[in-house]
Structure 1
Amino acid sequence: MSRIAIFSDVHGNLPALKTILADLDVRKPDQVYCLGDLVDFAPWPNEVIELLRSSRIPCIMGNHDERIAFNHPVIPLKKHSEDETRARIQAVDHTRDTITPGNKDFLSKLPQKIRLTFTQQERELALLLVHGSTRSNEEYIYENHNEADLYDMMEQENADILVMGHTHQSYIRNIKTGEASVKLALNCGSVGRSKEGESMATYLLLDIGTTTLTVEIIKLPYPVEETAEAIMTSGIPDFYANFLLLQR
């Protein structure tokens, strides 16, 4: 049996990350992975990066990590209001102003994907870890995404299980051809900025046996007020503190 923990989208929220890591200390998975977006929206980008580095947790490059690492501009999203767009730019600028050169360099070297393989029922089971999708770390793959497109993406990558973040919304979805479930698409949600109606630190736990596979979405309470207060006393707009507090 192999136990794999996967989380994503910490977004500088150190108290939420510490909550996840404390839970992992109890559950003791065999492997732990992070799907990126370590920075922006909360005031601990350096502390988050340094904690993950010291914990030796492999990470991939989220779109926010890439933007900070390579000084990409903020492109407004159609789904955001003018107020959120302004807040987003200010939050990203705060990270640009505070991140250390060493941590910025660390972000620039993160991979886009991680592939894992396991032997199950005398066949190879392939897991592919990405931030957004197999095509881009900025593509949103929600639970209602076209099933045929998801199947094609996974076929092209020779993946039996696709694990994603980016949407901040966790789910477990069977991908079928006919009546048979042949693949599994998973989203591990967000550690630091959940968009599931409650401010919980969320991650995914997979137990892979020789004949069995179980997936569990873990949601944990964390000191939201601590994060909100730190945002309000930093250069990050209160928009992000209010978002967390309104979801409690």
Structure 2
Amino acid sequence: MPRIAIISDIHGNRVALEEVLRDCEVRNVDAILCLGDIVGYGPEPSECLALVRANCRLSIRGNHEDAVLNPAHARSWNYAAQAGIAYARRTMTQEALSFLATLPSSFAISETILGIHDSPTPNEEGMTYLKSRNDAIEAFGWFDERICLVGHTHVPCCFTTRTRSSLEVIGPDDVDEHPVSFVDRRAEIELPASGRSIINPGSVGQPRDRDPRASYCVVDLGRSVVELQRVAYDIAEAQRRTLAAGLPGVLGERLAIGA
């Protein structure tokens, strides 16, 4: 059974992405899947997109791809986030932008895995943050697959049920109040054979759980576990590139604290 690496929320941080891809080689993964937000915030959206296209079996678009394609989506965002979108639109080629437009909003692999950027819970007003046990209880009602992969929060976590129909959800009460910090790079969570799971791999390019290392996960279907990985990278170099691109300094500063 395959070992599948899950990456998300790269946000133009090529330095972090390259280290994660190298780590994936060490972990002997069979495929890499990307949950979106390849661009935005960071200084190298085109380069990150090229790496995703070259290395990922499947990829979907996130809200930052949506905003690059239609800036109206970012109208209510803060200045730094809008600056990242404007920078991506200004520097990416038409071919790259056209490719972004072809990315689907989700993917499904047989009856086993669903991938979506935010949450399977529908939201007519935009993206949904799946951050708490209550959010997970609602989300479990909107998909049938054994595993649902989500991103968007930039915080790695896992919610599980013991049976397919159970609403007893095991996972953090709220990842904002109690962020899950997987200090051990080899931390594993068992995926119940008869239950279902929602897995967030965290963020490659802008972690927000107070651990500045790049975050991703490996789903080992043969062993029925998810391995949560943290990868150190040259944060100072990523900060230097952010400033050199003329992006707001806060986008580089937050990389050092993982917030």
Common fold, TM-score beyond 0.5? yes
* Residue 145 to residue 100, structure 1, CA distance change in 2 (3 Å): farther
Structure 2 stretches lacking a partner, 5+ long = 170-191
Structure 1 match to 2:205: 192
Write the mapping of 1:203-218 to structure 2, written as runs, cut at 5 A.
203-209=216-222, 212-218=223-229
The 8 Å contact of residues 38 and 48 in structure 1, kept in 2 or not, is answered as yes
Write the mapping of 1:155-174 to structure 2, written as runs, cut at 5 A.
158-174=144-160
The 8 Å contact of residues 119 and 139 in structure 2, kept in 1 or not, is answered as no
Structure 2 match to 1:238: 249
Distance across 2 between alignment mates of 1:165 and 1:56: 16
Distance across 2 between alignment mates of 1:4 and 1:213: 12
Per-residue CA distance 1:62-119 (angstroms, 9 max, x = gap): 1101111234341325xxxxxxx122222211111111111111100001111113xx
Structure 2 match to 1:82: none
Structure 2 match to 1:40: 40
Write the mapping of 1:119-130 to structure 2, written as runs, cut at 5 A.
126-130=112-116
Structure 2 match to 1:222: 233
Distance across 2 between alignment mates of 1:116 and 1:228: 37
The 8 Å contact of residues 213 and 230 in structure 2, kept in 1 or not, is answered as yes
* Residue 12 to residue 243, structure 1, CA distance change in 2 (3 Å): same
Please report the TM-score for the alignment, with normalisation by the length of structure 2: 0.82
* Residue 226 to residue 148, structure 1, CA distance change in 2 (3 Å): same
Distance across 2 between alignment mates of 1:208 and 1:138: 28
* Residue 164 to residue 56, structure 1, CA distance change in 2 (3 Å): closer
Identity of aligned residues (%): 28
Give the residue type in structure 2 aligned to 1:36.
G
Give the residue type in structure 2 aligned to 1:189.
G
Distance across 1 between alignment mates of 2:214 and 2:36: 15
Deviation at 1:175, TM superposition (A): 2.6
Deviation at 1:243, TM superposition (A): 0.8
The 8 Å contact of residues 41 and 92 in structure 1, kept in 2 or not, is answered as yes
Please report the TM-score for the alignment, with normalisation by the length of structure 1: 0.86
Deviation at 1:160, TM superposition (A): 1.6
RMSD: 2.0
Per-residue CA distance 1:149-183 (angstroms, 9 max, x = gap): 122112xxx21211100000011111352669621
The 8 Å contact of residues 70 and 108 in structure 1, kept in 2 or not, is answered as no
Per-residue CA distance 1:117-154 (angstroms, 9 max, x = gap): 3xxxxxxx521011001236721111434343122112
Distance across 1 between alignment mates of 2:106 and 2:47: 24
Distance across 2 between alignment mates of 1:130 and 1:178: 21
Structure 2 match to 1:139: 128
Give the residue type in structure 1 aligned to 2:15.
P
Q: State the secondary structure of the residue aligned to 1:97.
A: helix
Write the mapping of 1:26-175 to structure 2, written as runs, cut at 5 A.
26-76=26-76, 85-117=78-110, 126-134=112-120, 135=122, 138-154=127-143, 158-175=144-161
Structure 1 stretches lacking a partner, 5+ long = 78-84, 118-124
The 8 Å contact of residues 175 and 185 in structure 1, kept in 2 or not, is answered as no
Per-residue CA distance 1:35-69 (angstroms, 9 max, x = gap): 01011111101111112222254210111011112
Deviation at 1:10, TM superposition (A): 0.3
The 8 Å contact of residues 91 and 235 in structure 1, kept in 2 or not, is answered as no
- Size of the alignment, in residue pairs? 229
More strand by share: 1
Distance across 2 between alignment mates of 1:60 and 1:75: 22
